[in-house]
Amino acid sequence: MINYMLTIFIIFLIAPFLQGLTKSIKMYLLFKKPLSPFQPYINYMKLIRKEVIYAKESSIISRIAVFMVLGPIIMVVFLMPPVFHGSFYISFIDAFTITGLLSLSTFFLMLLGLDSASAFGGIGSSREAFISALVEPAMILTIFSISLIGKSIGVSGAVLNLNTYFDINHAASFILAAISFFIILIAENGRVPVDNPETHLELTMVHEAMILEASGTNLMLIETASALKFAVFATLFVSLFFPFGINHCWCLAVLVFIAKLVLVSIAVAFIEVNTAKLRLFKVPNLLGIAIIFGFLSLFIYYVVGE
Amino acid sequence: MINVLIGFFIATLITSLFTNRLFRLYFWYGINSLILGLIGIVIGKIYSLNELVIMGIITIIIKFIIIPTVLKKITLTFNISRDITPIMKIQYLTILVPIILVFTYYLITPVLITFSTHPNFVAIAISSLFLSLLLIMEHKRMIAKIIGFLFMENALFLLGIVSTNGMPMLIELGIFFDLMMFILIINLLFKYQGE
């Protein structure tokens, strides 16, 4: 049990660091003077000291939505697959649980955007609904296909099975699922080809538009939720698609796990620097590829992998 | 090994269905042909068929290096517009591609037992045939339709390899010369018609 709590604690601690690391690598690659990767922690300390102001038109939703955005994501963090061998884990988690909890969080984020009755909130909420509706089928298909390859419907069981034995016949299916999941990781966390997290230009805002009215501690909680969401997706990605390193002793396994997470943030930073942001109505092309690759991964599992 | 390569063969074909830039389409055609050549080489090594290995190497040289380069040169010489937005919407493609994949597998299942070599790979080859037909259908511009024909030729080559373990070398070489003539004719067509 102490192992399990340690894993959860590591994910909570490292989540803002991953976001800061992505940003500082991106600034370094653009020849700017990079911020410290620990900048998000400093921001949180600053935000927590500021007072909370609600918009005049806002209702009770604005007060509770912040906690409902953070709550399901914290719940998902507790359901993550084990980081090292022999650790306690919750075994009944499948694709629907994770996708459903994340959708609950997204739903309250959209309500928060609509509640303050500003025009930008409505724009942001409609765009977020558009993107997250397209992400869900791809995510369910991908996690199902990886569960089939891992021969267990639960995510944690699949991770453990993949670590002990990897069937080379299903490598094509596995790699296609990995590509699909990486596209989902970028789309769901509002990274560059889908949404730019750094601008406040009304044409491109998705995530920023919904949280314009939040302030003080509320803003800090929402920022924490978005950092944790990235950490959840990165953890799922590295546990499912880099299945090695769990069977070492616990200190080495944790180090390998953190190295893999850092690698994912570096990959995201490189993609952000090298691609231009898509127009909003081109986003279905990218997510269509994710859906098709998820389906193709299932299809190839049945047809080719004998 | 062949499993992985065949998976990527159909994945590159599907990615090329979603592109709307011409040079991107050439790039995916090149990668598709590279994978096809590797499949030929691997099957030739496994069953020790030397002619299949030679065919794989010729495929890589001609289809991965020469044809994309020549097509790029033609495009730049005759100032062909490089925007090839499909006339079919992406939403319809997202539905159509899984339907084609499943339908082909359903269609081929009764025939599969007669193939002794790689029964399931035949299903993939035939579905890539249908997908390249979709690529021809979804574009209005002629240059994209030509790439569709080339993709279809790749799919036929794959079908030839996996269903019969390789046709006689003379026929394969004939197909290659045919392809070279095809490219020459396209060149003339663009020169005089200009698009």
Buried b (16+ CB within 10 A) or exposed e, A243-276: bebbeeebeebbebbbebbbebbebbbeebeeee
Sign of CA dihedral A26, A32, A36, A39: negative
As a whole number, mean pLDDT of residues A257-268 equals 93
| pLDDT tens for each residue of A6-49 | 888 989 999 999 999 999 999 999 999 998 999 999 999 999 99
Name the band, by pLDDT with cuts 50, 70 and 90, for residue B166: low
| pLDDT tens for each residue of A112-166 | 989 888 888 888 899 999 998 989 999 999 999 999 998 888 888 898 899 888 8
Give residue A162's domain range. 2-303
Residue B171 has pLDDT above 80, yes or no: no
The answer to whether B7 contacts A292, with C-beta atoms less than 8 Å apart, is no
ipTM comes to 0.82
Give the pLDDT confidence score for residue A221 in this predicted structure: 93
Q: Is A55 buried (19+), middle (13-18) or exposed (0-12) by CB count in 10 A?
A: middle
How close is the nearest chain B Cα to the Cα of A280, in Å?
A: 14
Give the separation between CA A59 and CA A63, rounded to whole angstroms.
8
Split into its structural domains, chain B has a count of 1
What tokens does A75 get? 């719940």
Query: Could you tell me if B15 lies within 8 Å of chain A, comparing CB atoms?
Result: yes
Residue A178 has pLDDT above 90, yes or no: yes
DSSP codes of every residue in A62-91: HHHHHHHHHHHHHHHHHTPPPSSTT----T
Contacts of A170 in chain B (CB under 8 A): 3
The answer to whether residues A264 and A144 touch, using CB atoms and an 8 Å cutoff, is no
Pick the residue from chain A with its C-alpha nearest to B18.
A285
| pLDDT tens for each residue of B68-104 | 998 898 888 888 788 888 888 888 888 899 999 889 8
The answer to whether B94 contacts A288, with C-beta atoms less than 8 Å apart, is yes
Give the pLDDT confidence score for residue B27 in this predicted structure: 94
Sign of CA dihedral A153, A154, A160, A163: positive
Contacts of B120 in chain A (CB under 8 A): 303-304, 306
Split into its structural domains, chain A has a count of 1
Please tell me whether residue A279 adopts helix, strand or coil conformation: coil
Give residue B59's domain range. 2-193
